[in-house]
Amino acid sequence: MSIKSDLLAIGHTAFDYIIRVDKFPEPNSSITINKMKHLHGGAAANVAVVGSKLGIKTSLISAVGDDFLYSSYKLLMEDLNINLNHLIHVKDENTSTAFVHTDSNNDQVSYFYWGASSEFKNTPVNPKAIENTEVIHLATGDPSFNYRSSLIAKENDKIVSFDPGQDLHIYDNKTLKSVIENTDIIFGNQFEINTILDRLNLNIDSLRNLGPKIVIKTEGEKGSSIYSDEKIKINSIYRPAVDPTGAGDSFRAGFFRYYLKGESLEKSAQLASSVSSFIVEELGCQTNIPTLESAIKRMNENYK
């Protein structure tokens, strides 16, 4: 039996090693690690987990290895009623693993082992997974799989959201443009949006004419900017940042919690900002996920 969902996240599920250092080492040298934790992550999985905890009915398409099948991560997703029927199990391989290093300035350097995710490019997209959801969120993952997913989504009149994130560098310009043409909403931080504009020789207006009618650019402590029929500026909610990892993914999940209910872009982004402000307070992408009630309370306290 097909399971319907509000939001389908496509992309990485990963095991994360979150590492804090004072500074990054020079080549041929080493540095002391101040803190390290082994946590749950992966951009698509982050969106699915945070979204589910906020009350969104979510599904997930990720390629996972043998180590995921009996893991606490899978048990968590099952407890949250995330639809895992369309996971891609790659035998004799490990699930993607991220080593995220953050220094005292909150700058990050990441090393990512694709592992099972390398099989995305050889795997056909299951149309049933897309037909039974409202919004398709293309997170970090294989460019060809994301492109093929975007085609099926548009053929079925689904809302397509695109967040290439730190995998932007593996998209060639043709594939990047093709995915964007099938996209309704594009998310990115300041660097990522500017990189897309530079590589495709666009400005915000021509980017929106290419495909996405909504462009959402997050700008750290400066908040976020939404480009649609008008530009909307959303101030950030300042919280002392212990770890910025996963803030962007939680922002997307928070945004969709309201957007799927018909709230305005401004209100949706305000809730998104509130949700992400909880995530940065603790180490890890899924360590400090707020309840919907807590996120709304902080939102109301900061946006009058």
Annotated catalytic sites, by residue? 249
Pairing of strands 133-138, 159-162: parallel
25 CB neighbour count, 10 Å cutoff: 12
Secondary-structure percent of the chain, ordered helix, strand, coil, rounded to 5: 40, 25, 35
Rg (alpha carbons) of the chain, rounded to whole number: 18
The rounded distance, in Å, linking the Cα atoms of 70 and 88 is 15
One-letter amino acid for residue 197 of the chain: L
236 CB neighbour count, 10 Å cutoff: 16
Closest by CA to 65, choosing from 140, 116, 123, is 116
One-letter amino acid for residue 195 of the chain: T
Instruction: Using CA atoms of 282, 226, 109, 10 in order, give the dihedral in degrees to the nearest 10.
Output: 80
One-letter amino acid for residue 143 of the chain: P
The rounded distance, in Å, linking the Cα atoms of 122 and 127 is 16
Q: Sign (positive/negative) of CA torsion 240, 242, 243, 249?
A: negative
Q: Give me 221's structure tokens.
A: 């402590």
Closest by CA to 181, choosing from 210, 143, 153, is 210
Phi, psi (5° rounding) for residue 57?
A: -80, 110
Q: Is the CB of residue 217 less than 8 Å from the CB of residue 190?
A: yes
Count Cβ atoms within 10 A of the Cβ of residue 27 and give its class: 0-12 exposed, 13-18 middle, 19 or more buried. Answer: exposed
